[in-house]
Amino acid sequence: MDRFNERILHELLHDGRVSNTELSERVGLSPSACLRRVQELERTGVIQGYRAVLNPLAMGVGFTAYIAVGLSDHSKQSQAAFEKSIVTLKEVVECHNMTGSFEYLLRVETRDLAAYKAFHTDALGTFPQVNSITTYVVMDSAKDERA
């Protein structure tokens, strides 16, 4: 990873739709050299894909929460069963296996608080592996670089 690749990645993180010509100008390379580097970064898996950044409110999402989930059983089978179930829930947009006082951290997005309550009660609360659920409601986001 040299300074040109780092600059390419920086520019693509901020504008994944930038043309190769514009990108090459921004990073100080010829268009052909820039394209070769981008293709190599893609081929080696450094760049895994490109995504659209959506406006949550325009998509009907007005409520975001992080949920710490503790399991009643810490076995591999219990974790696998929980993960198999959690990936089917559209409200769960991130699921991370953690170390510490709980096993999973989820990011959940719903229309509003009432929709979250239904998710909490009718979906997550019904999983037999779940022992504890602690919800942290997002009030505002000063920084969010997910794309």
Which CATH number goes with the domain that contains 67?
Answer: 3.30.70.920
User: Which residue range forms the structural domain that includes residue 30?
Assistant: 3-43
Cβ atoms of residues 120 and 79 within 8 Å = no
Verify that 90 and 121 share a domain, yes or no: yes
Across 70-86, b (16+ Cβ under 10 Å) vs e yields ebeeeeeebbebbeebb
Residue 146: the pLDDT is: 76
Give me the residue label for tokens 């040109």: 4
Helix, strand, or coil (residue 3): helix
Domains identified in the chain, total number: 2
DSSP structural state of residue 56: T
- The one-digit pLDDT tens for each residue of the chain (147 residues) are 899 999 999 999 999 999 999 999 999 999 999 999 999 999 999 999 998 888 889 999 999 999 999 999 989 999 999 999 999 999 999 999 999 999 999 999 999 999 999 999 999 999 999 999 999 999 999 998 876
Residue 37 belongs to some domain of the structure: yes
Residue 74: the pLDDT is: 87
pTM metric for this prediction = 0.82
Residue 57 belongs to some domain of the structure: no
